[in-house]
Structure 1
């Protein structure tokens, strides 16, 4: 199938019966030009009819930056939340004629400098940045209203509602937001009237996970429930329980976080927290572009109740 040639400035000028300079003045709304309202309307109507779109590079040169927004995301932060966040970010940027470029891996100074020099992006974002700066309650979800704080608290409130008073947080090795998550969980435990959480690392590979869980249970026999840092950590906790000849929730209740597709396939199926972050991504896009975020209210997170807790 032959692709329709893209309309050019010359095409718009020819169809409008004016010069290319006049078309440029009208489309760029150049000030101090004596162009009649009728001519201006004719040029705009012709551009619309031809489907004319300004060349991205030329527009970038005029604006001093490209129409690209870069998002840095570490691989260990990928999950349902990040997927829906990126979808919202991408869709909202596209609606405002911008393009999203996702870079996986830590945002080193050298990598950021290369990006800035090569494509002059409109903005460079880092996934979860607000939680790394000491302003974690200023997130676009509203902290305890519908941000990470609220979602972390859902885990604790759910377990507390099932009668668990001694809860642990299982984390991967070097979790990127581990301290923030534990702080939110402890505040939620305080609000629920139960002791602060203890935490432990659920490592890879599988035998190491079983050893870690056995050692933890020996040191903390009163703990009856595990809140996983994410679904991956929670699923590895379930596997470790099985390897020790134990089961969930009879011996230890386990709840995940972020509702990946694998949780529903496990035995027992994993209870978890589902978060639709599309509105968060759309808000981030508008903020990066300097636009209002009015009307982009996030969807509330929810507990997906299954068999593990």
Structure 2
């Protein structure tokens, strides 16, 4: 059958019964009297053909029992989020649930309207994550699970800066994206970097906003080196910003890491093709997605918790 989706009609033809009988058997309809031998024949055919129920239709029929809504901020994207979503989706599918992803936008109405429309079993609202910017700027460590210092974003940021400290750097900059869609998360990351610097005995990090325009990015890096000559390393918001930074440094003739070290965040595969190859922080985002799925379904967490952030050491530090 190639890549075509196996249907109930295919199962019916293979088992010699009607599609209605297949539906009754595979949906466990107890009101219909179907011989056990026939039920087993249908299930065996379904297994052999690799039949998978149309989960979305099933979820819509069952209302709140099988839909999980993931609400994302408008403009937020990236490989880490993609991996998290895949892990979430895969684990939900293993338990017969459907993931519905909603990207926030005023044009789409409020989150409440979506919830009212689909009646999900649970809502994972990443669009509401880190809404309290005052908390990010406050003195003292952030202790919430979402951005915690145990295995959350704060801890991952600490790993990034600690690698620079271990490499001998004492004055660092934090490179942030210019894209306004990342503004809230960038503010959060900067707040964590400042707190991590205190923990590590570093001076407060210098902020470097990296424009997407190449000429503007080169000028921003030129200004950084003129105004802060003591900075010897840059911790980037993510690998995309780090790659922009590497291009700007190349344009200025600045050698990496001899004159300025650069560390990314996300450890995407294409970072290994940069010149020099990009050192970056790897996070098992898929495992966090799996854990989130099990949490919202009321299941025990995975036997093995997500591994902590690790540094993929390449040439840029």
Per the normalisation by structure 1, the TM-score is: 0.78
Deviation at 1:150, TM superposition (A): 1.4
| Residues 63 and 120, structure 2, Cα contact 8 Å, conserved in 1 | no
- 2-structure distance, mates of 1:14, 1:247: 68
SS in 2 for 1:177: helix
SS in 1 for 2:64: coil
Alignment match, 2:145: 139
Deviation at 1:149, TM superposition (A): 1.2
SS in 2 for 1:200: strand
Alignment match, 1:11: 21
Alignment match, 2:271: 263
* Segment drifting more, 84-93 vs 60-69: 60-69
SS in 2 for 1:132: coil
| 1:308 aligns to 2:316 (yes or no) | yes
| 1:120 aligns to 2:114 (yes or no) | no
1:151-202 CA-partner distances (Å, limit 9, x unpaired): 1111110111111111110100233312221222122212211212121211
SS in 1 for 2:307: coil
1:102-142 CA-partner distances (Å, limit 9, x unpaired): 344547760635533543333333337443355964336x8
In structure 1, stretches of 5+ residues that fail to align are 28-38
Match of 1:227 among 198, 220, 235: 235
What are the within-5 Å matches in structure 2 for residues 118-197 of structure 1?
A: 118-127=117-126, 129-133=128-132, 137-139=143-145, 143-173=148-178, 174=180, 175=182, 176-197=184-205
What are the within-5 Å matches in structure 2 for residues 82-101 of structure 1?
A: 82-101=81-100
Deviation at 1:61, TM superposition (A): 6.7
What are the within-5 Å matches in structure 2 for residues 242-253 of structure 1?
A: 242-253=250-261
1:203-227 CA-partner distances (Å, limit 9, x unpaired): 1210010111112222222211111
SS in 2 for 1:209: helix
Q: What root-mean-square deviation, in Å, do the aligned CA atoms of Structure 1 and Structure 2 show?
A: 3.7
Match of 1:207 among 197, 200, 215: 215
In structure 2, stretches of 5+ residues that fail to align are 13-17, 137-141
- 2-structure distance, mates of 1:14, 1:200: 62
